[in-house]
Amino acid sequence: MSVGPTPPVRRFAHGSRVPGWDDAVDLTKDPAVVPDPATTPVPDELRAEIEALMERYPDRRSAAIPALHAAQRLHGWCSPLARTQVACVMRLTPAYLTSVASFYDMFELEPRPLHDDVYVCTNISCSLRGADEVLDALTAAAAGDETVHVRSFECLGACDIAPMASVNGEFVGPLEPSDAQRIVDDLRAGRSVLPEKQLRSRACVDPGAHPGGGAPHPDDPRAS
């Protein structure tokens, strides 16, 4: 069989294969379609949380990620309704928020039953300190339990407590495989997860903190 010459790739005037992809966006223009507050009911609690988030930033769009998280917490997933409600309060288009939510894999764009998220960092620092064994142990501990979702994740920015995991947003580490069952047990019992290994309990984060109310962490200068 003879193969003919490869047809040339079609290019547009500016050299791209996708028309307009590198056109500069005019960020000063009003968004095209913003949900109408008169026809878009937003739960009071969600509205108040988003407004408080927007006040933290000079540009309200900087609050998009925490605002989407708030809506996801309320709705269980980042549904079209959730995005529309956030867009309504933030005066943005739902499309803008969809572009943000679809980029980050902490947002659920498909409905899922309520569950706990355990993200085990398997990036370089955690990997070198045994993250794969921690991930295996957690996967085994949660096996068959659809309410606990365990997955590997890229660097979560807490390399100093490697190997670590984010459990529903709570950073815990350094972890050992033997911590896995307790993490799952704590989640099932609705308890705070591994309080003595929570990042927030370390003296470098909160100088007044004593992990679990007990002795300082061994890495804490107060322990020596």
Considering only 95-103, 123-131, 174-182, 203-211, which stretch makes contact with ligand FES by CB under 6 A? 123-131
Considering only 82-90, 119-127, 180-188, 212-220, which stretch makes contact with ligand FES by CB under 6 A? 119-127
Task: Compute the least distance from the CB of residue 10 to ligand FES, in Å.
Answer: 42
Among 46, 100, 101, 121, binds ligand FES (CB under 6 A): 121
User: Residue 160 or 206: which CB sits closer to ligand FES?
Assistant: 160
Task: Compute the least distance from the CB of residue 6 to ligand FES, in Å.
Answer: 42
Give yes or no for a contact between 170 and 131, defined as CB atoms under 8 angstroms apart. no
User: Residue 130 or 212: which CB sits closer to ligand FES?
Assistant: 130
Task: Compute the least distance from the CB of residue 116 to ligand FES, in Å.
Answer: 19
Task: Compute the least distance from the CB of residue 198 to ligand FES, in Å.
Answer: 15
Q: Which of residues 133-172 bind ligand FES (CB under 6 A)?
A: 155-159, 162, 164
* Cα 150 to Cα 166: distance, rounded to the nearest angstrom: 10
Instruction: Assess 97 for contact with ligand FES (CB under 6 A).
Output: no
Task: Compute the least distance from the CB of residue 121 to ligand FES, in Å.
Answer: 3
Q: Which of residues 4-63 bind ligand FES (CB under 6 A)?
A: none
* Cα 82 to Cα 188: distance, rounded to the nearest angstrom: 27
DSSP letters for the chain:
---PPPPPPP--TTS-SSTTTTPPP-TTSPPS----TTT----HHHHHHHHHHHTTSSSGGGGHHHHHHHHHHHHSS--HHHHHHHHHHHT--HHHHHHHHTTSTTS--S---S-EEEEEE-SHHHHHTTHHHHHHHHHHHTTT-TTEEEEEES--S-GGG-S-EEETTEEE-S--GGGHHHHHHHHHHTPPS-GGGBGGGSTTT-TT--GGGSSPPTTSGGG-
User: Residue 42 or 183: which CB sits closer to ligand FES?
Assistant: 183
- Cis preceding linkage at 174, omega within 30: yes
Instruction: Assess 84 for contact with ligand FES (CB under 6 A).
Output: no
Instruction: Assess 120 for contact with ligand FES (CB under 6 A).
Output: no
User: Residue 50 or 121: which CB sits closer to ligand FES?
Assistant: 121
Task: Compute the least distance from the CB of residue 140 to ligand FES, in Å.
Answer: 21
Positions that interact with ligand FES (CB under 6 A): 121, 123-126, 155-159, 162, 164
